[in-house]
A and B are shown apart, each in its own frame.
Chain A
Amino acid sequence: MSSVPINHPGSTLEWHLPSKRRVGMSALIAGESAVFTIFVVAYVFYIGKSLTGPTPQQVLEIPIVGTICLLSSSLTIWRAEKAIEEERMASFSLWLAATISLAVAFLTNTALEWKKLIYQDGLTISTNLFGTTFYSLVGLHATHVVVGLFLLSATLIFSLFGWVDSRQSERFGVVALYWHFVDGVWIVVFTVVYLIGR
């Protein structure tokens, strides 16, 4: 029977290895989600437990402009994704620049908020539990925005030099995935810090 040829019946389904970049970014997002979860849990756990003021009710204002900027940047980066897939490079650069402006606007908003909190209200990271948890959670998110800003700015510079075309669309998709994650986290942070905790 050793002359029987090795022929496997059927099952020649086309199978592709999933994109390494997407899998890698998804893994990063899973890990980062766990980090944020711990910080959010700490924030929620310590709501109303500060021994001294100022309290969130006294000093926090809802950052409506910043939130609108950051959330709409998810929309503009999605337009940029579409543009690079369809090789419309001018449009790509434009939507990318719009995304960056919105991110900068969000960070400026946060900076002004922090300036008011520190100089006007005297709230720093060591003032009370609210200060500690607030600056850690919002700061952790802002750090992620800054990292995203570096990625987007580098892409914009490359794009203005004409080094980017639709062959990089998958790579840009990974950056966009990260950016959507950062936006999604803001929804959670916003809800916890400015709606529940205030």
Chain B
Amino acid sequence: MRMPLFTWLLLVVSMLTLVTITPLTAAQFMLLIDRYLGGHFFDTQAGGSSLIWIHFFWIFGHPEVYVLVLPAFAIANEIIPVFCRKAIFGYPAMVAASIAIMFVSLGVWAHHMFTVGMTSASNAFFTLSTMLVGVPTGIKIFNWIATLWGGRIRFTTPMLFCIAFLFQFLVAGLTGIMLSVSPWDWQLHNSYFVIAHFHYVLVGAVVFCIFAAIYYWYPKATGRLMDETLGKWHFWLFAIGFHITFDTMHFLGLLGMPRSIYTYQPDRGWNFLNLVVSIGGLIQGIAVLIFAYNFIVSNWRGVVAGDDPWDAWTLEWATSSPPPVYNFEELPEVHSRRPLWDLKHPDDPDWEYES
């Protein structure tokens, strides 16, 4: 149990990818057979079923969401402890929750299909299994909050993005639980409420964590820090723009605006809210331009970072920035989850506290 949580999470993602992407491959083969060899897998004229295509697609499509979000968890697991100066809370629970998410996520796909007309038993099963994912995910949220609790928090740009991630991912999870209730989903399926929900996951969680990761590991990759002032501008504009756009979309969904439409009648009452959504998008765009400028210019003008600019504890910070091709002259020995802490504090090493 000395493996960093980042590595654990990527292991889980890799295993999940193996059984998640391959069903899509199989379904695509069937589609090719239908199209080019005259097969009938999804051909209703010959007794085929379009329903089974929907099943196959979502057997891929839902676990895929976890393939995307688990790396975001991995990033948060690395960054949050460093910037609140505490070891991660509940390491074994975090590992167990990740593995639980992997298994449960394989059994929830048909919550995308409540309006297809499944049996009540199927609806009940997929409602309950979907709610079940909330348990390991909730454990993770509690552990991140417990890590923050009582810590000496440093509000650097990567940490700001991670804190926003925590809040937004919580909201995304809560709207997810709302949508998992099949009668609620019958009302809001295919509406902007769903769009808002999954953008809260994909942007609010995944993109925010990717930005956090770029600010956090940029000095390790280039040897220079990204500019903090521009970083804070990027964060605040992006967070504000994000909320203007995606919070508003929930209300558009509740007002009945369907997804995937390019235009609508002017008397529907969606005009003003859609204008708000667009303004939010513009603000996010400006934020990303600031980020792009910062990303490019810091490579030459950034403050020289040194090996360990964040006073972190994992091994990548024990080597130079950027790391040499051989990583380490001597292979470091790892005795705890925070090997660099042990090197910095030989009088108070972690392994004395870890079982």
Question: A residues bordering B, Cβ < 8 Å?
Answer: 1-2, 4-6, 8-9, 11, 27, 30-39, 42, 45-46, 49-51, 125-126, 128-129, 132-133, 136, 140
Instruction: Label chain A's interface by main secondary structure.
Output: helix
Q: Give the distance in Å from the alpha carbon of A34 to the alpha carbon of B343 in the complex.
A: 45
Residue of B nearest to A133 (CB): B41
Name the one of A34, A45, A46 contacting B26, with C-beta atoms under 8 angstroms.
A34
Q: Give the distance in Å from the alpha carbon of A5 to the alpha carbon of B335 in the complex.
A: 14
CB distance A6 to B342 under 8 Å?
yes
Nearest CB on A from B110, distance (A): 14
Which residues of A have CB within 8 Å of B52? 42, 45
Which residues of A have CB within 8 Å of B61? none
Which residues of B have CB within 8 Å of A8? 333, 335, 349, 351
Which residues of B have CB within 8 Å of A39? 26, 30
Instruction: Label chain B's interface by main secondary structure.
Output: helix
Q: Is B232 an interface residue (CB 8 A)?
A: no
Interface residues on B, range: 35 or more
With A8-B333, A42-B30, A125-B38 known, 4 other A-B pairs at CB within 8 A are A6-B346, A8-B349, A125-B37, A140-B29
Q: Give the distance in Å from the alpha carbon of A122 to the alpha carbon of B15 in the complex.
A: 43
CB distance A35 to B33 under 8 Å?
no
CB distance B46 to A35 under 8 Å?
no
B 225-250 binary contact with A (CB < 8 Å = 1; else 0): 00000000000000000000000000
Question: B residues bordering A, Cβ < 8 Å?
Answer: 14-15, 18-23, 25-27, 29-30, 33-34, 37-41, 46-49, 52, 56, 59, 333, 335, 342-343, 346-347, 349, 351
Nearest CB on B from A159, distance (A): 32
Nearest CB on B from A87, distance (A): 34
5 nearest A-B residue pairs (beta carbon): A126-B38, A1-B347, A38-B26, A34-B22, A132-B39
Name the one of B37, B40, B347 contacting A129, with C-beta atoms under 8 angstroms.
B40
Which residues of A have CB within 8 Å of B23? 34-35, 37-38
Which residues of A have CB within 8 Å of B59? 38
CB distance B46 to A129 under 8 Å?
yes
Q: Give the distance in Å from the alpha carbon of A11 to the alpha carbon of B335 in the complex.
A: 9
Which residues of B have CB within 8 Å of A33? 19
A128-B349 contact given A35-B23, A45-B52, CB 8 Å threshold: no
